[in-house]
C-alpha cells in the first residue's frame, strides 16, 4: 500500500524550492514549505496555498524546528552574490546552523535528508570539467566565502552525521540553474541579461565575457533532486546536477538579445573578485546513479524564462 510521504522543503518559497514543492505535490506528497522570505516570495507559492496537501510556514532555519516529516530537502540559503553578500554572517549561519538544525530534525525523525549544495564548493576550479572527487580551489576569506565555505561546511556536517549517526543523507551539487521565478534583482547572469534586454538597458559583461557557465533549466534540476532523494540509502552523493553544455557569457548575452529582439548594446565592466573563470559539471555520476541528464536546450529554456520576466515587467509598468 502506498503511504503518502510528508516532505519538508526549506527555502520552499524560493526560485528552485517553489518548483520542487510543485513537483512533490504532483507526485501525491504532502508538502510543508518553510521560508523566512529573505529571498523567497509568497507569490512563488501563492497558487499552491489552496491545495489541502500544502502547508506554508514562515520560519528561519537558523532556529530549531519541531515538525513531523518523512523527508527533508534543505534548500534554505540565499544563492546569488547580491543576496548572500548583503548579510554575509547570516548567510554562513543559514548554511551551518541551518544544516545542524535540519540534520538534528532528520536524526530525531529517522528521515532522509537532502542537502542542496552548490558548484561554488569547487571555487575557481583548476580542474575542468569538475568531478565530485575534486576538492576545490576556494578563497576562505574573500567576499564570496560566506556562501562557498558555508556550503562546504554544510557538506562536512552532512557526512559527519552520516558516519556518526548513520543518517540517510543525499548531497546534490547544483550548477547554474535558471527559469521562471528567478528574482529579477538577484544579480545572476541569466536574470540580469534578460531584464536588461527587455528594458533596453546596456547588457553588462564582466571582463571580456569569455568566462564560461553551464545553464540548467529548473525543471530538469528538480527532476534530478527528486531522483537523488529516491536512490537507495547507499547512495549519499555528492552528485553534480547541472548542464554539461558550456557557453561563454558573451554567447549567452548574444542569444538573449536575439530572442528578445532587443536593441541593447553589450558593455564591459571589470571582473569581480574570485569570479570563477570556468564552470562545467561532469555529470557521469548523475547519469549512472540517477539515469538523469538535462533535456531542455538553453534556447527553449530562455524563451520560457523571457516570457516570465516579460510578464513580470508588464505588471510593474
Residue 205: strand pairing partners? 268
Report the pLDDT value the prediction gives residue 2, as an integer from 0 to 100.
58
Residue 273 grid cell: 573578485
Question: 68, 162, 81: which is closest to 114 by C-alpha?
Answer: 162
In whole angstroms, give the CA distance from residue 52 to residue 4: 13
CA angle 37, 39, 41 (to 5 degrees): 55
Report the pLDDT value the prediction gives residue 317, as an integer from 0 to 100.
66
**Residue for grid cell 516570457:** 307
pTM comes to 0.94
Report the pLDDT value the prediction gives residue 274, as an integer from 0 to 100.
61
pLDDT in tens, 178-198: 999 998 888 889 999 999 999
**Beta-carbon count within 10 A of 284 CB:** 15
In whole angstroms, give the CA distance from residue 81 to residue 99: 20
CA angle 96, 188, 310 (to 5 degrees): 130
pLDDT in tens, 232-289: 999 999 999 999 999 999 999 999 999 999 999 999 988 776 667 778 899 999 999 9
| 3-state SS class at 308 | helix
CA distance between the termini of the chain: 52
Report the pLDDT value the prediction gives residue 137, as an integer from 0 to 100.
92
Residue 177: strand pairing partners? 216
Question: 94, 113, 111, 108: which is closest to 153 by C-alpha?
Answer: 94
DSSP secondary structure string, 250-292? Answer: HHHHHHHHHHHT--PPEEEEPPPTT--S---B--HHHHHHH--
- Whether residue 12 contacts residue 45, with contact meaning beta carbons closer than 8 Å, is answered with yes
C-alpha separations of 191 from 88, 184, 227 in Å: 22, 6, 27
Q: Which of 73, 84, 122, 147 does the annotation list as catalytic? A: 147
Q: Residues of the chain whose pLDDT is less than 70?
A: 1-2, 273-275, 317
Q: What is the assigned CATH class of domain 6-178+217-243+280-295?
A: alpha beta
Residue 161 grid cell: 552525521
Catalogue the long-range contacts made by 192-195 (C-beta closer than 8 Å, 24 or more residues apart). 193/252, 193/253, 193/256, 194/256, 194/260, 194/302, 194/305, 194/306, 194/309, 195/309, 195/313
Q: What is the DSSP letter of 47?
A: G
147 has catalytic annotation: yes
In whole angstroms, give the CA distance from residue 170 to residue 162: 10
Report the pLDDT value the prediction gives residue 85, as an integer from 0 to 100.
81
* CA 40 distance to own-chain centroid: 12
Report the pLDDT value the prediction gives residue 223, as an integer from 0 to 100.
98
Report the pLDDT value the prediction gives residue 1, as an integer from 0 to 100.
45
Amino acid at each position: 500500500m502506498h503511504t503518502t510521504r510528508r516532505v519538508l522543503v526549506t527555502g520552499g518559497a524560493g526560485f528552485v524550492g517553489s518548483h520542487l514543492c510543485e513537483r512533490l505535490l504532483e507526485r501525491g506528497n504532502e508538502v510543508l514549505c518553510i521560508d523566512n522570505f529573505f529571498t523567497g516570495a509568497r507569490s512563488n507559492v501563492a497558487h499552491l496555498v489552496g491545495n489541502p496537501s500544502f502547508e506554508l510556514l514562515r520560519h528561519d532555519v537558523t532556529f530549531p524546528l519541531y515538525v513531523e516529516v518523512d523527508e527533508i530537502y534543505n534548500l534554505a540559503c540565499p544563492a546569488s552574490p547580491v543576496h548572500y553578500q548583503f548579510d554575509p554572517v547570516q548567510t554562513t549561519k543559514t548554511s551551518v546552523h541551518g544544516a545542524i538544525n535540519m540534520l538534528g530534525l532528520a536524526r530525531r525523525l529517522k528521515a532522509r535528508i537532502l542537502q542542496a549544495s552548490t558548484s561554488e564548493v569547487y571555487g575557481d576550479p583548476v580542474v575542468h570539467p569538475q568531478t565530485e572527487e575534486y576538492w576545490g580551489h576556494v578563497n576562505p576569506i574573500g567576499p564570496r566565502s560566506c556562501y562557498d565555505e558555508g556550503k562546504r561546511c554544510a557538506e562536512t556536517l552532512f557526512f559527519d552525521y552520516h558516519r556518526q549517526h548513520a543518517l540517510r543523507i543525499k548531497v546534490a551539487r547544483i550548477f547554474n540553474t535558471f527559469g521562471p521565478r528567478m528574482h529579477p534583482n538577484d544579480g545572476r547572469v541569466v536574470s540580469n541579461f534578460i531584464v536588461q534586454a527587455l528594458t533596453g538597458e546596456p547588457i553588462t559583461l564582466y571582463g571580456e565575457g569569455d568566462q564560461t557557465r553551464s545553464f540548467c533549466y529548473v525543471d530538469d534540476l528538480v527532476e534530478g533532486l527528486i531522483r537523488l532523494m529516491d536512490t537507495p540509502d547507499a547512495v549519499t552523493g555528492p552528485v553534480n546536477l547541472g548542464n554539461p553544455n558550456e557557453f561563454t557569457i558573451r554567447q549567452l548575452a548574444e542569444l538573449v538579445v536575439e530572442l528578445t529582439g532587443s536593441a541593447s548594446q553589450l558593455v564591459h565592466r571589470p571582473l569581480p573578485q574570485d569570479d570563477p573563470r570556468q564552470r562545467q559539471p561532469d555529470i557521469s555520476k548523475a547519469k549512472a546513479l540517477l539515469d538523469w541528464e538535462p533535456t531542455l536546450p538553453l534556447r527553449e529554456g530562455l524563451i520560457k524564462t523571457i516570457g516570465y520576466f516579460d510578464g513580470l515587467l508588464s505588471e510593474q509598468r
